[in-house]
Amino acid sequence: MTTPRTIALDGPAGVGKSTVGRLLADRHGYLFLDTGVLYRAVSLEAIRRGVAATDGAGLTTVARNLDILMLRAEPDSDRMYIVRLAGEDVTDGLRSPQVEAIVSQVSAHPDVRAALLERQREIARSSRSVLVGRDIGTTVLPNADFKVYLDASVEERARRRHRERLAKDPLFPYERVVEELKHRDKLDSGRAASPLRIPEDALVIDTNGKDVEAVLSEIEAEMGLQR
């Protein structure tokens, strides 16, 4: 097949989309965008401004005026990217428990999604791109050249996410991660605006028991890419 210009990578929370997408982009010269970062940034800015997660109008204003800059992290960094809001490095804050608690609710507002939609499409048009999220292949880039949907059980995803949490809080309970993921799955799949669903023409990969290299190999083989 012809090398795709746009790659849409979707899946539920904690399935490893960002890791797979970033490596795929780096290996084959694509621009990488984790669109979830935009919603996390809106959530963080809303918290700072005292805008409630239920305030659709207020959140939409935050989204429309978001002063965000996404930069590639240094190769030897443990970060995938650097995010600045109004010049301030907020990368770590985007993964805070406070943001985790509201980001799915924030992203469920149709006007918030609409405010960020064109920004995502502009990025995709600017270069060969890998876009990662929950509605890339269905809404953001329905005509993407290649679509992938990664999936895994809640338990598998919770184990992966729990390892990340333990690095910051050695006492963080695994059971709490499971409940958080179940809650996010329910919100993401049940929202009225661009719910999480599998694109009809996507390559679906069950990542249970597979490491990142195995998943990447499946994608590369299907795309006809060589390292």
CA atoms within 13 A on the CB side of 179: 6
Which pTM was predicted?
0.83
Q: Using a CB cutoff of 8 Å and minimum separation of 24, what contacts does 81-89 make?
A: 81/22, 81/32, 81/34, 81/37, 83/37, 83/41, 85/41, 85/44, 85/45
Q: Which helix (H) or strand (E) holds 88?
A: strand 88-89
Low-confidence ranges of the chain (pLDDT < 70): 1, 75-76, 226-227
- CATH number for the domain running over 6-219: 3.40.50.300
Record the tokens describing residue 81, joined without a space.
């990217």
Q: What's the rounded Cα separation, in Å, for the pair 112 and 40? A: 12
Do the Cβ atoms of 216 and 19 come closer than 8 Å?
A: no
Using DSSP, state whether 72 is helix, strand or coil. Answer: strand
* pLDDT score recorded for residue 122: 87
Q: Where are the domains of the chain?
A: 6-219
